[in-house]
Amino acid sequence: MANVLVTGGAGYVGSVCCRQLLDQGHSVVVIDDLSAGCREALPNRVGFLHCDIGDRDALSRLLKQYQFEAVFHFAAKALIPESVLNPGIFFDSNVGSGIAMLEVLRAAGVRKFVFSSSAAVYGSPFMIPMVEEHPKNPINAYGETKLIFENVLQWYVKAYHWSVVAFRYFNACGSDGVCGENHNPETHLIPLLLQTAAGDRPFFEIYGGDYDTADGTCLRDFVHVSDIAQAHVRALEVLGDPGFRVYNVGTGISHSIKQICRAVESITRRKLAVKVGARRIGDPPILCASPDKIMRELSWTPNHSSMEEIIESAWRWTNSRSNQLVGEELCEPRAVR
C-alpha cells in the first residue's frame, strides 16, 4: 500500500479519489487552499494541510514529515470562461505554482506523479473520436495551462527520470453519494439542468441549435466522477519505470444537449423550461474521446458512466445536500502541522 499526497483533494474529483484510495488501503494526505474545495468533503482518515501548492516552505515541511510514494495532482483553477477573461491568474496558479511544487517534490526525491489534465488541450477536433495523438491546439487559457504543464512533466521525465501518468478528462459528472458538482459560478451542463429541474433556475439555455448534428445541438462525452477516480487508482499500478503516459478518460459515446435535457426530464419527472440561444464562440459541434488506450493498458472501463446512472446519482446528491455532510465518515480530517 502507498502513502499518497493529493493536491486539491478537497475538490470534486479529488475528494472522490481520496475515498477510493482509502478504500483500497492506501494512506492519504491532502493539501488544498480551499479556494474551490470543501474541507467537509474529506474523510477523517486523511491528513490535511491548508495551503497553496506554490507555498514551498509549507510543502517542504510536509515532505519532511511524510514519505510519499506518489503524488496525485488535482489542484488547479478550472473555470474556462474565467480563463479567457483573466488568463494571468490561470498561468500563475496552474503553471507557476505547479512548477514550484514540482521543484519541492524533486528535492525530496518524489518521482511518481499523476496529473489531472483535460481534453481542453486538444481544442477543436480534427477527428472523432479523439485519440491521444490528436493535435493539441487549446482555444482557452485553461487548456493552454494544462498542455504547458504536461510538457513540463515530460521534461522532468527526461531529466530526472520521473514516472508520470496524465489523464485528459472529457466531461466529469455525477456523484459518488458524498460529493457532486458544485461550481461557483455554475457553468456545467448537468448541474445547470438539475438546478432548473429543482426550481432554482427559471430556465435552461442551450447555446446553439443549428449545429450539423442530428438534432442541431452539440454532442459531448460524459464520464462519471467515480470512473475518473478509479482511473487514478489504477495508475498506481503502472507508476514504476520512468516514462510519461497519457490517457483519455471518456466513454467513446457522445450525447447531444437535447438528449440530456430529455434524460433529465425523465429521471426527475419534471418538465424543464428550455430556451435555445445563440452559439458560444469556440464550441465545437462534437467532442468524443477514444478510450481504447486506457482500457487496454490500465484495464479500465467506465462502469458507472451510463447517462442514466450519471443523472440519477447527481439528482440524488442535489436532493440530499443538506444532509450529505452528516456522519462520522465526514468528520474533521486530521490536521497536518
Whole-prediction pTM: 0.93
Is residue 142 flagged as an active site residue? yes
The CATH number assigned to the domain holding 106 equals 3.40.50.720
pLDDT(283) > 90: no
pLDDT tens across 311-326, in order? 999 999 999 874 443 3
Residue 254: its pLDDT value, please?
A: 97
Contacts 24+ apart (CB under 8 A), 274-279: 274/196, 274/203, 274/204, 274/205, 274/206, 275/203, 275/204, 275/205, 275/206, 276/205, 276/206, 276/208, 276/209, 277/205, 277/206, 277/207, 277/208, 278/207, 278/208, 279/207, 279/208, 279/210, 279/211
Burial of 5 (0-12, 13-18, 19+ CB in 10 A): buried
% residues pLDDT > 70 (the chain): 95
**Domain that includes residue 178, residue range:** 3-335
Burial of 308 (0-12, 13-18, 19+ CB in 10 A): exposed
Lowest mean pLDDT among 142-156, 181-195, 253-267, 291-305: 181-195
Catalytic site residue from 142, 156, 169, 211: 142
Residue 325: its pLDDT value, please?
A: 39
Better pLDDT: 336 or 275 = 275
* Span 25-33, average pLDDT: 97
Residue 327: its pLDDT value, please?
A: 35
- Name residue 242's amino acid: P
pLDDT tens across 146-184, in order? 999 999 999 999 999 999 999 999 999 999 999 999 877
pLDDT tens across 192-220, in order? 999 999 999 999 999 999 999 999 999 99
- Name residue 111's amino acid: R
How far is Cα of residue 131 from the mean position of the Cα atoms in its chain? 19
Residue 126: its pLDDT value, please?
A: 92
Question: HSE-up of 202 (CA within 13 Å, CB side)?
Answer: 0
Question: HSE-up of 109 (CA within 13 Å, CB side)?
Answer: 5
Lowest mean pLDDT among 97-106, 151-160, 181-190: 181-190
Is 220 in contact with 261 (CB distance < 8 Å)? no
How far is the C-alpha of 48 from the C-alpha of 31, rounded, in Å? 6
Is 136 in contact with 147 (CB distance < 8 Å)? yes
How far from 279 is each of 84, 206, 211, 264, 321, CA to CA, in Å? 17, 8, 9, 22, 33
**Cell numbers given for 33:** 487552499
Cβ neighbours around 336 below 10 Å, total: 18
* Span 260-284, average pLDDT: 94
Residue 96: its pLDDT value, please?
A: 98
Extended beta strands in 40-81, E state: 47-50, 70-73
- Positive or negative torsion for Cα 247, 174, 147, 287: positive
Q: For the residues of 70-102, what is the DSSP string, one character each?
A: EEEE------HHHHHH-HHHHIIIIIIIHHHHH
Cβ neighbours around 158 below 10 Å, total: 12
Report residue 169: phi and psi, to 5°: -70, 150
* Span 22-29, average pLDDT: 97
pLDDT(272) > 70: yes
> How many independent structural domains does the chain possess?
1
Lowest mean pLDDT among 19-28, 41-50, 248-257, 294-303: 41-50
B/e letters for 86-111, b = 16+ CB within 10 Å, e = fewer, are eeeebbebbbebbebbbebbeebebb
As a whole number, the mean pLDDT across the chain is 93
How far is the C-alpha of 160 from the C-alpha of 251, rounded, in Å? 34
pLDDT tens across 218-243, in order? 999 999 999 999 999 999 999 989 99
% residues pLDDT > 90 (the chain): 85
Q: How confident is the model at residue 270 (pLDDT cuts 50, 70, 90)?
A: very high
Residue 334: its pLDDT value, please?
A: 67
Peptide bond into 129 cis (omega under 30): yes
